[in-house]
Amino acid sequence: MCSCYRQWLVITEDGQQVTGRQEPRLVLVSMVSEGEHLCLNGPTMEELRIPLKQPDNPVVNCRVFSADIQGRDCGDQASLWLSRYLDSGKTFRLVQYELHMSPRRPVEKVPLFSPSEKVVYPDIAAVMLLSEASVADLNTRLERDVTMARFRPNIVVTSCDAFAEDSWDQIQIGNVQLQRVMACSRCIFTTVDPETGIIDRKQPLETLKNYRLCDPSEKQIYKTAPLFGQYYSVKRRGIFQVGDPVYMMSR
């Protein structure tokens, strides 16, 4: 298990990151690797298959959440496919992170992280955990239910109370040990429907703000963003799989 990956990133021609916040229909794009090929699929689009590795392509500078990082350009075919799919009059490119490139350091943005913690293209951390019970609790407060996909967790936990994860300081899953760092503060991305690619700009974010704000003593960290899910650092790498029990080591 690697603690620094999401390996691919969509950027503008000048290297600025592009996510579902700016282009909501990106959430409908799927990407899988098959053998030596990367496969892109999206509504109304034919599948695009490109080489998984293109070492002769240029390395470009990217700007991700106000930090500098690099990526290997994935070629003109990927750029044309994304630009045609998003159809916003702009040119988009796909880049891939490679191990020799320098990662980002979350501690430079949030001092709660260890100086050794590394990420590439995620917001702030590589591992985010959320329980099904927390989403179920939220749905009791909404007119229309939302799914777990709204919140994009790496790890989904079942059979616990709502927001139990808020107090799990150290946990073990399989032979992997994780240390909680901070809560996940939520933004406008939660209002993008993962099934339609339509941004609402209101729900469930407004409802979360009614009951999931931080303690006043933590406002310098979270400001006015509601908290939903928890970020973890990997303390011991290893393997875990769907169905493994989660052991709380400390709270």
Contact 94, 65 (CB under 8 A): no
Per residue in 157-175, pLDDT (tens digit) is 999 999 999 999 999 999 9
Asked if 177 and 130 sit in the same domain, the reply is yes
What percent of the chain is modeled with pLDDT above 90?
Answer: 96
Task: Decide: 93 and 78 in contact? Cβ < 8 Å.
Answer: yes
- Residue 145: pLDDT band (50, 70, 90) is very high
Q: Is residue 79 part of a domain?
A: yes
Residue 140 and residue 245 in one domain: yes
What is the tens place of the pLDDT at every residue in 123-136? 999 899 999 999 99
> Do 198 and 162 reside in the same domain of the chain?
yes
* Pick from 239, 241, 31, 32: nearest CA to 155: 241
Q: 12 with 82, same domain? A: yes
Mean pLDDT of 13-23: 97
Q: Which among 39, 69, 103 is the end of a domain?
A: 103
pLDDT digits (tens, 9 = 90+) for 43-92: 999 999 999 999 999 999 999 999 999 999 999 999 999 999 999 999 99
Summarised one tens digit per residue, pLDDT across range 205-239 is 999 999 999 999 999 999 999 999 999 999 999 99
Residue 2's pLDDT band (cuts 50, 70, 90): very low
User: Both 143 and 232 in a single domain?
Assistant: yes
Helices (H), 14-131: 76-86
CA 89 to chain CA centroid, Å, is 26
Whether 115 is in a domain gets the answer no
237 & 158 share domain: yes
Asked if residue 61 belongs to a domain, the reply is yes
The answer, yes or no, to whether residue 178 has pLDDT greater than 80, is yes
Domain count, the chain: 2
**151 domain-assigned:** yes
Indicate whether 4 pLDDT > 60: no
* 18 and 91 both lie in a single domain: yes
CATH number at residue 207: 2.40.33.20
Residue 78 contacts residue 85 (beta carbons within 8 Å): no
Give the span between the Cα atoms of 150 and 27, in whole angstroms: 10
Assess if residue 109 is contained within a domain. no
**pLDDT, the chain, mean:** 95
Give the pLDDT mean for 100-126: 94
Number of helical (H) and strand (E) elements in the chain, helices listed first: 4, 14
Q: Which of 39, 68, 103 is the last residue of a domain?
A: 103
Residues 193, 89 share a domain = no
Domain assignment present for residue 163? The answer is yes
Residue 26 has pLDDT above 90, yes or no: yes
Residue from 131, 129, 178, 181 nearest 155 by CA = 129
Predicted local confidence at residue 5, as pLDDT: 52
Question: Which DSSP state fits 206?
Answer: H
Q: Is the same domain home to 99 and 129?
A: no
Among 185, 186, 177, residue whose Cα is nearest residue 204: 186
Q: Tell whether omega for the bond before 204 is within 30 degrees of 0, i.e. cis.
A: yes
| Per-residue pLDDT, 85 | 98
Q: Which residue has the higher pLDDT, 3 or 198?
A: 198
Residue 108 lies in a domain: no
Please check whether residues 49 and 18 belong to one and the same domain. yes
Asked if 179 and 71 sit in the same domain, the reply is no
Same domain, yes or no: 92 and 130: no
pLDDT of residue 250: 77
pLDDT at 71: 98
Residue 82 within any structural domain of the chain: yes
DSSP lists the bridge partners of residue 40 as 31, 48
Q: How confident is the model at residue 99 (pLDDT cuts 50, 70, 90)?
A: very high
**Domain coverage including residue 79:** 8-103
Mean pLDDT across 29-39: 95
